[in-house]
Structures are given as C-alpha cells and as structure tokens.
Amino acid sequence: MKNFVKFLACMLAVALVFTACGGGAGTAAGGKSPVKNGTYVDKVIYSVSTDQTVALKDVIEGKADLMFTSVPSVLLSGLSDEDRDKIDVYPVPTGYWSLLFNPIPNKAPYVWKTEAGEEMFNPVAIKEVRYAFNWLINRKKLVDELLLGEGSPMYTPCTVGLPGAYRYNILASKFGITETGDEQKAISMIEDAMQKASQLAENKGKLVKENGKWMYKGKPVTIKSIMRVDDPTGRLPAARYIHAQIEKAGLTVEGFERDRKTAGSLVYGGNPANYDWTMYLEGWGSGGFYVTWETPLCQMYSPFYGYMPGGGEAEFWNYSNEKLDVLGKKAAYGQYLTAEEFFSETTDMCALGMEEAIRVYVVSQNDLYVANKGRFNSRLFYGTSDGFNGWTVRCADVKPDADGPYKGKRVLRVLQFSAQGSLFMSEWDPIGGQGFSDTYSSAFTNTVTDRASFDNPAIGRSEFAMSTVDVANAKFSPKFVATGNKTEEGDDELVMGGDIPVPAEAVMYDTASKKWVPAEAGQSVATVATGKLVDGYYWHHGEPVDLNDVRYAFAFAYEWAIKDGEGDLYYDAPLSSVTLPSLKTTKGIVFNKDGSITTYSNYFHAPIPRDTAISVGGLSVKAANPGRRTNVPWEIYEALAEIVVHGSKSGTVYNFAKDGGERGVEANVKNPDCLADLKAKLEEFVASKHIPDPLKGFINADYAVKRYKASIAFIEKYGNAYITTGPLMFEKIDPITSSVVLANFDKYPYKSDYFPNMFRTDLTEIQYVKAPVAPSADKDAVFEVTVSKYSYPEVERVPLDKGKVEGRLQLPSGGEKAYTAKSIGDGKFTITVPASDLAGLEKGVEYIMVVLTSISDEPPSANSVSFTILK
C-alpha cells in the first residue's frame, strides 16, 4: 500500500503540468503501427461494465485495453504488485463535486406553493444560507477521507493548477474561505438569515425555531437532497456528511437516493417549480482544457447558458440574475477591448457567482485512468485537464490481435462504467440544446467528429482541423459604440463595434425571405478574418465536405434562432436563447472566388487575438446543438427540421426540446422509429428533387439527390444517421447490449501519425514551493521552487534547465507584482521579494504568492503558497 501511494504521488505530478514548448518530442516504447489515413486502429469496440472492480480486472487481464472512465483510488490501492505492473495509470485532475441548489422562489418571503397547494418554506431560497455552505463543509475532510488524498478543495469552476485558474481561485482566500471551513461561523450565518426571514411580516408566527429545529406552519423546514446511490464510495457518503452538518444548523434534510438517470431527470430535466429537490451534490468532468475561463464561468454561474435551475426552458421556473448574464455574455461573445478588462470583469463574475451560491464547489478529484500496459506500442495521449478523451482513442497505437475473429487487426477495446448498464442517457439530437448532453454520448462524438478547430489536449492551444484561417492577415479594430439606450445606472449602453468597414459584396441570410441578401450597408466591425476548408474531407457516407455544408449550416443557425412572426415554425426558443447573441456579432460574410470565406464580426477575444481570428474566420459545418462536438451533413439537418415542422410519415410528433411530453418526442438519429421517419423524409426529398432554401441557386437537383441517396444508404447499412467527419465512424450501435463499434475511416485526410506528432511536446511540472519561515519586513523573503520537465505523454522527469519561472505576489488592490526567479541549478529556483516591498504590506495578513513556469510563450503551469508577514 505504501509503495502504491508513493507511486501515485509521483504519477500525480502529471496532473499539475500545463505548459509546453514547441518541438519537444517523446519517443514511443517498443514497436509502432504502420501509418495510414485515419487512425492506427482498425476498429474500436466500446462495452459497458456495471462493476468497477470487474472492469479493472478485465483491463489487468487484457480482456479490455483501457477504462475510459476513471477508477477509484481505493480499488487501485488494493492491487497486488503483479497486477499493478500490468497497467499504466494516468492521473488527471478532471472531476469535481459541487452542490447545486434549487432556490425557488429566490426572493422573500422564501415560500413556494406547490401544485398540490402546500406552502413550503425553502431555506436555500435565502442567498445567505446558500453562501454559508462555504464554511459549513470541511473540504479537506472529504479529500482526505473519501478521496484518500487524491484531490483538492475546490471553490470555483476553475480547476486548480490549470493556466489562469489562480486568478479566480484566490478569491476564496479573499473571502476568508478555507479548506477546513468554519462550522460555527456557518451555523451563525444560517441562524442570522433564518431569524431575519422569521421576522418578515409574511412569516411571523409561521417560521419559528422549536427545540433547536426550524419549523414552518408546524412542519420541519426541510432541504430535499438528491443523493447518488450509484457512487457509494464518493458522493453518497459525502452527501450524508453534508446532511449531518446541515442538521447542526437546525434545518432538516430529507434524502432521496437516486441513480444517475433519475437524478439527472429530476434536477436537470425537471421544473424546479415541482419542488422535487432543493439540493444535489453534482459530479462533473472538467470539460476540456481552458486557457481563459469564460466558458466554465458562464456555464456554471450565468443563467443564459442553460445550466442553472430551470435550464432556460420557457415553461419552467428559472433562476435569473441579470448581472451574471450581462457579464457572462460579454465574456462569451467577445465584448471586451483589453485583456485587463476581460480578466477584471470575469473575476467579478466569479465573485458574484460565489456569493450567489447557486453552486457551491466542494472538491476536485485526481481521477485515475488505467490501460493495459502490454497492449500498446506507446503511452496513450490524454487531456491534461480531462483525462482519457477522444484523442486517447484516435491516437491509440494498439498491437494487433494475435488470434480470434480479428486476428491481425488492430482492435481497441474500451470499457465504460455505468451503474445502470447503459451508455445511452440523452437523446442523440444534433440540433436541440440538450442533445448529446451526457458524458457517454460525448465520449463517442468527441472521437468520431472533427470541427473547424480544436484545443490541443496537452496545452490548450487552438489547432486547425477542418478549416484553416489566415491568422497573419486577420484585422482587429475593436471599439465600443453606443446603442442609443441607457443602462439601469443611466449611462449610455455600449456594445462591441469597430472601424473595419463591411464591404458591399458581403451577404447575410434573411430568414423572413429565405434568401441570401446584401449585408446592411454602412456597418463597420471589430474583426475580419478569412478561412478555408481543408481539402480532402469526406462525410462518412463518402460524399465530400464542401462549401454548401458551410453555407447551409450558417443559414440554419439563423433560421432557428430568429422568430419571423408568431406563426414561425422554424424557430426554437430554448435554442435561440443560447445561439442568437453569438450570431448577432456577425455582420456579413463574403464568398470569395478561391473558395475561402471572409467573415466580418463584432467578436473580439481580448486575451488571445489569435483565437479571435480562428473563432471568426473558421468555417464550420455545424448548424446547431450548441456546446457539443457534433455535426452532420446538411441533408440530415434538413430532414430533421422538416419532420419537426411538417410532420413525419409515422405521424409521430418530433421536436428539438429535452422534455418531450406534450411537445412531442425529441429527434434522435439512432432511434429506430425516428430513423425510419428520417429515411422516409429523405426518400421524399429524392422524389421531389428537393433543394433547401439556403442552397437554392448554388446546387442543382442531381447534386441534392446524390446527397440524399448517400445518407439513405448509410442509414440502411449502419442503422444510425450520425454521419460526420472524423477518422472513425459508427459501424454498429447496439442499445440492447450497450455496445458500440467504430471503424477506421480511410477517406480521412490526415495520416494516423499526424496528430500524435503534433501533440508530443515538453511540459513543465512544479514539484515544490516553499514560503519563507516567519517572513518579516526587515529582510528579504526568499521562496524556494523546484521545477522539472518531461515529454508528454511520457512520464520520465528531469530537472528544468531552460525556461521561465516567476512569482506573482497578489496585492490587496487586486493587482499583482511579478518577481523573476533565479536558477540555482538542478531544477531549483529562488524567488526573492525585497524587504522594501514587504515593508509596504500589512502585517498579520495572509498573502498569496503564485508561481508560474513555462518554457516558451505558452500558457504557464501554476502553483501557489500563502505567507503572513509577522513583523
């Protein structure tokens, strides 16, 4: 056990590394598969296991090659030395837990009347009660006792150790939140809030405290907690601990043990007004590598993103917060002129989100992923922030089968854990906002789908895939312009604009006339960039990806986001609420004669102008399903839209919503009934030689019919309509056995070694940071730092010889002061803060020194240490 803990401690250093140097190289151990178009593997077979112990044993014995889902550390700690030697362990800080509250009605007097007519006093409708949970929970206790040390206390949606996350995570220290909490302070905060609520006129005599328990109209004031019964060593005992803490504050907890699907349906798919729950201990994956953090901040704090109670569904009660939405939309839609302003206001958004406390973050997990060491020619690629992902499968160099039905073939066998025994939770709807929304669906789509650009899994840098962008010739001239309206404070309302004129040849799609029309005259914008499709891309049905896919996707997005009158059937309100603000930033596009497209936009991502150019100029074939890595050919989008708007052959009513019910059944490209209707619509298109409105004048009937027939043939052969663009394609989907088979797509334009060679790079790791003992203002403060480097995805460490190491002292004003480290050899550095600087700091106050390390100009890795000046 001690040896294994030491082994994990060494391995976990991987999880803290997030810098890169262009050109570093890792060497593959052993042999190497032959290079071909697509992937090294010939097939990928996904299967499900309902028992993690059995799944781990299967990987050890070589029945499966890897566990795509993480393995609890308690299982690994019980392995024999012989079994441990058969696996590679990949530790990554990718998972985390957070408390989500249903705050209905989120205003005084904090009482909600249910459909049954019962009045319920909701204690977590009080902001101060929710906020108190930051002190009520001993996060360190949960890390030590439930995660066995394999994790960290967490206070924000920003993963500890990732680039830039420190800007937001140090807010906890500024708010006085610590890893151990302060139980008595929390109880006092809750008591004060409840006493104030009891004095409201509407609650007097109804909300009282009797024998240490809060009562409302004679019944206990209760928090309804959803507990994950299928996480017996993690969130289930964590919830029980939190319940016990809540009871100390005089509130009552009613726990409901539910599995993933039931819990998700209640919390994320249900109407908060039903009052089925008021607290849920969530489990999330990191979602990817973030260099700037506007995406998770918007997702987890801003209501417009659709992840707060109510989910943005028009028929539901929804949590709302205008300030969070204003800040979130500015960050998400590129509405800042400078990086300084961006970071300042996203920090304000994070602080407000913490104070609102609809979500209270608890712990992050060092998730442990395992693979059979003997089955691979080299170490697997993985996300340094999200563990095993689509690139793990795409880049896997697995050895060929020695016998059996696939003898000589390179078959990757992937296990996923699901307590329910199912890999299919959400609908496979490539249009609606909730399609492909579960973890299992993402595991598939991230593997088989390409998009215009993507984040490098090692360092987070934007890389090109389906589209290139002429970054060097992109132009930026952002400025704020007045809308003519006033803010609540009486100031002029400002929006992003610019000085780059939109040319006369620019066009937009008009959803009312269903035609391409000249862009509005006299406009100027912040950014202009030109992109072009990469040659050689094909859809999985064999037809080439072309500009018509881009043209159609652009028009479709606007069609379904803009409401042209009350009778507009081609409009989806929940989808529009997410997509329309972003779509409004585009003011015109030019279809150039060389096949490129130039886009004029009022989007400007101030921290990274290169990413601005790629976001604006990249050509996308994705029409809808925002936030998911999905796309399908234009004819599939068109057929789905038509069975929703004009009905299906079977008579089934379809929609793009998540809740079904009276609004029909959500479209699903793997459901047999929906597939039959989809195929029938495509056959109808063939017979009528249908040409969609956005493509009229650009394609002929022969082209359209060829596309329809290709999709029909794919559906007939493979039993699904998820036709996409990546190096692997769906060969078989079996919902009964919860198994999926992918096959290499040999028409893929990139060779199997292209992306592995791109990703191999040198990374740094901060191994040790030590603050000076008893620092005082009469002498220099010296911080000791040890840094190593390694070649991702390998594990061997060597001392950092060349690179940049600096300390950033966080100042009370919100700024920071940088200090360059001095190398003293063997990967050891010192950071010195002169006594003259210390003299200007307040005594007895805790300060934070953030250490950043890098090798080139890429996002640095980060660690921090606190210190207090004693005299």
Distance of CA 767 to the CA centre of its chain: 27
Query: Looking at residue 114, what is its pLDDT?
Result: 92
Over 90: is that where the pLDDT of 273 sits? yes
- Pairwise CA distance, residues 303 & 332, whole Å: 13
Q: Is 421 helix (H, G, I), strand (E, B) or coil?
A: coil
Residue 119 has pLDDT above 70, yes or no: yes
Which residues fall within 8 angstroms of residue 688, CB to CB, at 6 or more apart?
none
Average pLDDT over residues 586-601: 98
- Classified as helix, coil or strand, 218 is coil
Least confident of 326-335, 408-417, 480-489, 743-752: 480-489
Instruction: Please give the average per-residue pLDDT across 660-665, as a whole number.
Output: 63
Q: pLDDT band for position 624 (50/70/90)? A: very high
What number is the average pLDDT over the span 403-422?
91
Q: How far apart are CA 871 and CA 865, in angstroms?
A: 19
837 pLDDT tier (thresholds 50, 70, 90): very high
Return the pLDDT at 18: 34
Categorize the per-residue pLDDT at 418 as very low, low, confident or very high, splitting at 50, 70 and 90.
Answer: confident
> pLDDT digits over 339-370, tens only?
999 999 999 999 999 999 999 999 998 889 99
* pLDDT of 388 strictly over 50: yes
Angle between helices 322-332 and 339-356 (to 10 degrees): 150
- CB distance 472 to 539 below 8 Å: no
| CA gap 101, 81 in Å, rounded | 44
Higher pLDDT, 542 or 166: 542
What does the alpha-carbon distance between residue 525 and residue 335 come to, in Å, rounded to a whole number?
12
| Residue 452: band (very low, low, confident or very high) from pLDDT cuts 50, 70, 90 | very high
Mean of pLDDT values over 549-553 = 99
Mean pLDDT of 644-670: 84
List, in sequence order, every residue forming a beta bridge with 411; answer none if it has no partner. 43
**Mean pLDDT on 758-773:** 93
pLDDT of 773 above 70: yes
Q: Is the pLDDT of residue 573 over 80?
A: yes
pLDDT at 13: 39
For the ranges 51-55, 183-187, 288-292, 411-415, the lowest mean pLDDT is seen at: 288-292
- Across the strands, what pairs with 226? 256, 280
More confident residue, 845 or 504: 504
What is the identity of the amino acid at 406? Y
363 DSSP assignment: E
Q: What is the pLDDT of residue 609?
A: 95
Instruction: Return the axis-axis angle of helices 634-645 and 672-688, rounded to nearest 10°.
Output: 100
pLDDT higher than 90, residue 812: no
Question: Given a cut of 90, is residue 712 above it in pLDDT?
Answer: yes
Task: Outline where 501-633 has alpha helix (H).
Answer: 547-561, 573-583, 609-617
Residue with the larger pLDDT of the pair 636 and 160: 636
pLDDT band for position 16 (50/70/90)?
very low
Cα–Cα distance list, 450 to 182, 446, 516 (Å) = 48, 8, 27
Three-state secondary structure string covering 5-70: HHHHHHHHHHHHCCCCECCCCCCCCCCCCCCCECCCCCEEEEEEECCHHHHHHHHHCCCCCEECCC
pLDDT tops 60 at residue 28: no
Structural contact between residues 591 and 608, judged by C-beta atoms closer than 8 angstroms: no
Q: Which of 571, 569, 588, 589 is nearest to 580 (CA)?
A: 571
Query: How many Cβ atoms from other residues are within 10 Å of residue 345's Cβ?
Result: 18
Q: What is the DSSP letter of 141?
A: H
Domains recognised in the chain with CATH numbers: 2-93+373-459+754-758 (no CATH), 96-364 (3.10.105.10), 467-620 (no CATH), 633-721 (no CATH), 761-868 (2.60.40.10)
Beta-bridged to residue 699, according to DSSP, are: 696
State the Cα–Cα distance between residues 181 and 193, nearest whole angstrom: 19
Question: What pLDDT band is residue 32 in, cutting at 50, 70 and 90?
Answer: confident
Task: Specify the pLDDT at position 663.
Answer: 67
* Share above pLDDT 90 across residues of the chain, in percent, rounded to a whole number: 79
pLDDT on residue 494? 87
First to last CA, the chain: 44
pLDDT exceeds cutoff 90 at 612: yes
Backbone angles phi, psi at 49, to 5 degrees: -130, 135
Q: How confident is the model at residue 577 (pLDDT cuts 50, 70, 90)?
A: confident
Cβ neighbours of 105 (radius 10 Å): 15
Both tokens assigned to 265: 């349906």
Q: Is the peptide bond before 793 cis (omega within 30 degrees of 0)?
A: yes
pLDDT on residue 21: 37
pLDDT at 212: 96
pLDDT surpasses 50 at 29: no
- Give the DSSP per-residue string, 287-315: -S--SS-HHHHHHHH-GGGS-STTTT-TT
Over 70: is that where the pLDDT of 17 sits?
A: no
Of 315, 335, 364, 668, residue with least CA distance to 480: 335
Q: Which of 309, 727, 380, 388 is nearest to 536 (CA)?
A: 727
State CA 464 to chain mean position distance: 20
Own/partner long-range contacts of 607-612 (Cβ < 8 Å, ≥24 apart): 607/291, 607/292, 607/339, 607/342, 607/343, 608/291, 608/292, 609/474, 609/476, 610/462, 610/471, 611/462, 612/334, 612/474, 612/476, 612/527, 612/529
Positive or negative: CA dihedral 678, 682, 688, 692: positive
pLDDT digits (tens, 9 = 90+) for 489-540: 778 888 999 999 999 999 999 999 999 999 999 999 999 999 999 999 999 9
Alpha helical stretches, state H, 719-829: 754-759
Among residues of the chain, what percentage have pLDDT more than 70?
96
pLDDT of res. 384:
86
**pLDDT confidence band for 662 (50 / 70 / 90):** low
Q: What is the Cα–Cα distance from 423 to 433, expressed in whole angstroms? A: 20
Render pLDDT for 779-789 as a digit per residue (tens, 0 to 9): 999 999 999 99
pLDDT at 775 over 50: yes
pLDDT at residue 1 in the model? 36
pLDDT digits (tens, 9 = 90+) for 459-483: 889 999 999 999 999 999 999 999 8
Closest by CA to 628, choosing from 481, 448, 492, 407, is 448
Query: Residue 27 has what pLDDT?
Result: 33
The first and second tokens of residue 329, run together, are: 């939309």
Q: Which is nearest to 491 in space by CA: 501, 499, 500, 482?
A: 482
Could you tell me which residues come within 8 angstroms of residue 6 by beta carbon, excluding any fewer than 6 positions away? none
pTM for the model: 0.85
The DSSP bridge pattern shows strands 665-666 and 654-655 to be: parallel
**How high is the pLDDT of residue 658?**
61
DSSP annotation of 431: S
Report d(CA 190, CA 187) in Å as an integer: 5
Give 348's contacts (C-beta < 8 A, 6+ positions apart): 327
